[in-house]
Chains A and B, each alone.
Chain A
């Protein structure tokens, strides 16, 4: 199921009027546990502000007293459930939430590390270099030809390569270790610094993918003469190691690149998408 097609569940820890507050340590442990499992949570205490109700199903946890919780008049009873958690240890609270999530068929968390590019449109010039570069279909363009991140879950975990080809340092990976790729402010010296100006073309003497292709072709030509497949493989690996060290690309990403023929096909496809998007902008 696509990331964006999944349903959602709102979790509320209610400690307001007519509910017994959890003791501080238990509250912290319960909230920490739910966050570690990927849930978002509204804690209702005394004072402060919470996000308004919406039409997302909600599970309300609390130590309810007296006759138990009551919904306000007009509240959608079919979308709100209450769970009395007095005496429940954290793992049973977490289990109750997980059971509700499964029943509602809401999004499961933790199955995907959210690693993907985020575009800073204050910097982006819509040059489409990222779209041309990415072999994994992460980028696309909207109907007006504006660059977009369209398939976040296609992105290769821990690979920031596209941010290196962006001439404006407009591509962020918020979970990256260092700035400005992690979203820290871009300073002039960042743009000057060689690592931020990694021109992948310069690394390999031409466009990375066409370079890979050319090396592959040269290697194929050698195969016919020498029948030395090891040599071709070595050549490709040398090329990838060079790129990995300059671009901070995890070796497992490079080693998972498809065959040179498939790279060629995908690169052509990405280039065509970029050209179409640029043409749409001009028209």
Chain B
């Protein structure tokens, strides 16, 4: 088994919020790379369905998720009962990143965790009340 981070690509199929050319460029590069990856049509839909695939997609180690804002991704997974491990997750935000920047992060062997700190699940107690809010 490879020790490289797994890759999960979200196509955000049911909305026009991501640049179609950027999505296509990233997906094309993934397809051309020859490596294994996971691709989903729409993480929002899977979260609403509590799709069990979300559990398996996050199982087994480091993962780079190509999607949108890390704060949204974190709570989409949590809402489906499949919380992401903040130490093992990097979200490549296609709302902000250029395709070239996104692909650079996907090609890199290192992982740069970037989920917002705080609770992992809704019912968890606050991580540390003295800690400043992530947005502060």
Residues on A close to B: CB < 8 A? 3-4, 6, 8, 10, 16, 21, 24, 27-28, 31-32, 34-52, 54, 56, 107, 109-110, 112-116, 118-124, 142, 144, 146, 148-149, 152-153, 172, 174-177, 179, 182-188
Contacts and interface: CB of A to CB of B under 8 A. Distances in A.
Contacts of B38: 40-43, 50-51
Majority SS at the chain B contact face: loop
A121 B75 contact: yes
Nearest to A142: B123
A56 B12 CA distance: 23
A95 B55 CA distance: 27
A188 B135 CA distance: 8
Given A40-B53, A120-B71, A122-B116, 15 more contacts: A8-B51, A8-B52, A34-B41, A36-B41, A41-B38, A42-B39, A43-B38, A45-B35, A49-B2, A110-B14, A119-B122, A174-B43, A182-B68, A183-B72, A185-B71
B75 A43 contact: no
Contact of A144 (B44, B71, B123): B123
A175 B123 contact: no
A50 B14 contact: no
- Where chain A touches its partner, the secondary structure class is loop
B102 interface: no
A45 B49 CA distance: 28
Contact of A146 (B34, B52, B69, B122): B122
Interface residue range, chain B: 35 or more
B56 A54 contact: yes
Interface in B33-87: 33-53, 55-57, 59-61, 68-73, 75-76, 78-79
B108 interface: no
A123 B1 CA distance: 38
Contacts of A149: 79
A48 B72 contact: no
